[in-house]
């Protein structure tokens, strides 16, 4: 999977060289480039923001700088939009994506065309990024990834997806992470200040780009870098070969067709500071252990996230489940 991140603080993503993500880069599963948005500015101050139209506090990220950067990374020509908010095919501005044709931006249109000013976080070769190996779960008999129904999300292969973190967008969920783990290329744009000009995502949608805006929670961060890190980790840990033990992503909270919270976990010693683990877990009776864990998952989800219980398809619940 090819990953491009645009930020005014590209160094923030140096941490991606650590831990499992660092290993995934060395293995060629992911190839990451962090780009500095200021590299696409032309003024002496390298400014990327301007005052809000209509007044108000703070600064807003300028569309021109973002567009130069994104056009470059996506391999698109600039287009003028007409009064209907559509890309004007008669525009003199450029001849990127013709009107009335398949406007999906393919990975091949831009893969490997990163500008020289991108900070290369990884040394992974582009043909070793693992994207070709990342088949939809349904196509693969391997245990490397969970099945379609387990993951409860579309598993068709996506080409390039452009993602903007935004606190006023729909919430990013495990389902989104699962879907995006099938993309060939992800391009993240990190907002700062009061955010980015609203026309930026709108414009690229009109060019046929698959643009997503996501919030990672009901709170406001200083910038999109943390949000991108969160999404990136949730997405890439689902890539086949990313986790040491592929089983560990199959039975987890928010995962599977039911998307319940997971049961609680214990390790040894069986008694610690006078606190024992539930007896059933020491019984060696796998049927009882499974039943105990299932009951706990249902009860905890009901108590902590009743919204997830409400979304449950009751037809999936067994008689024993219903007793819980």
Q: Which residues bind ligand SAM (CB under 6 A)?
A: 165-168, 190-192, 194-196, 215-217, 219-224, 227
Cβ-Cβ contacts under 8 Å for 148 (sequence gap 6 or more): 136, 137, 138, 155
Annotated ligand binding at 220? The verdict is yes
Of 167 and 256, which CB lies nearer to ligand SAM in the complex structure?
167
274 is in an annotated binding site: no
Q: Which residue is nearest to ligand SAM (CB)?
A: 191
Consult the annotation and say whether 151 binds a ligand. no
Crossing angle of helices 224-236 and 19-26, rounded to 10°: 60
Q: For residue 218, say whether it is annotated as part of any ligand binding site.
A: yes
**Closest approach of ligand SAM to the CB of residue 233, in Å:** 14
Nearest of 178, 171, 143 to residue 305 by alpha carbon? 171
Is 162 marked within a binding site? no
Nearest partner of 61 among 40, 78, 44, judged by Cα: 40
CB closer to ligand SAM out of 165 and 240: 165
Q: Is 85 annotated as a binding residue?
A: no
CB of 166 to ligand SAM, least distance (A): 5
Please, which residue, 67 or 298, has the CB nearer to ligand SAM?
A: 67
Backbone region of residue 216 per phi and psi (left: phi > 0; alpha: psi in -120 to 50; beta: other values): alpha
Smallest gap, in angstroms, from Cβ of residue 51 to ligand SAM?
Answer: 14
Cβ 186 to ligand SAM, closest distance in Å?
15
For ligand SAM, the closer CB: 73 or 111: 73
Q: Which residues of 16-49 are buried (b: 16+ CB within 10 A; e: fewer)?
A: beeeebeebbeebbbbbbbbbbbbbbeeeeeebb
221 is in an annotated binding site: yes
Task: State the minimum distance, in angstroms, from the CB of residue 49 to ligand SAM.
Answer: 11
Pick 112 or 217: Cβ nearer ligand SAM: 217
Helices (H), the chain: 19-26, 63-74, 107-110, 148-151, 174-180, 199-206, 224-236, 286-304, 306-310, 319-323
What are the structure tokens assigned to 197, written together?
């000009």
Looking only at the bridges linking them, the beta strands covering 183-189 and 118-120 are: unpaired
Binding residues: 191, 216-221
Binding residues for S-adenosyl-L-methionine: 191, 216-221
């Amino acid at each position: 999977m090819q990953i491009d991140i645009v930020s005014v603080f590209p160094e923030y993503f140096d941490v991606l060289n650590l831990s499992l993500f660092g290993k995934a880069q060395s293995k060629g599963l992911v190839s990451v480039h962090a780009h500095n948005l200021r590299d696409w500015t032309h003024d002496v101050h390298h400014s990327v923001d301007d005052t809000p139209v209509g007044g108000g506090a703070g600064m807003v990220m300028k569309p021109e700088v973002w567009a130069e950067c994104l056009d470059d990374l996506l391999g698109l020509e600039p287009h003028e939009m007409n009064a209907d908010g559509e890309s004007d095919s008669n525009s003199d501005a450029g001849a990127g994506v013709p009107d009335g044709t398949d406007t999906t931006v393919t990975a091949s249109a831009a893969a490997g065309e990163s500008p020289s000013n991108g900070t290369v976080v990884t040394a992974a070769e582009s043909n070793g990024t693992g994207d070709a190996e990342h088949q939809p779960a349904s196509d693969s008999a391997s245990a490397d990834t969970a099945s379609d129904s387990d993951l409860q999300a579309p598993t068709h292969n996506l080409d390039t997806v452009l993602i903007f973190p935004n606190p006023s967008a729909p919430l990013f969920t495990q389902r989104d992470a699962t879907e995006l783990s099938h993309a060939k290329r992800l391009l993240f744009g990190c907002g700062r200040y009061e955010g980015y000009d609203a026309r930026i995502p709108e414009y690229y949608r009109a060019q046929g780009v698959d643009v997503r805006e996501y919030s990672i929670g009901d709170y406001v961060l200083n910038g999109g870098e943390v949000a991108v890190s969160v999404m990136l980790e949730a997405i890439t840990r689902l890539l086949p070969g990313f986790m040491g033990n592929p089983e560990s992503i199959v039975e987890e909270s928010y995962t599977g067709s039911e998307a319940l919270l997971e049961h609680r976990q214990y390790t040894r010693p069986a008694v610690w500071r006078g606190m024992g683990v539930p007896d059933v877990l020491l019984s060696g009776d796998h049927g009882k252990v499974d039943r105990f864990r299932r009951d706990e998952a249902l009860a905890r989800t009901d108590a902590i996230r009743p919204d997830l219980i409400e979304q449950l398809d009751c037809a999936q619940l067994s008689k024993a489940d219903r007793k819980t």
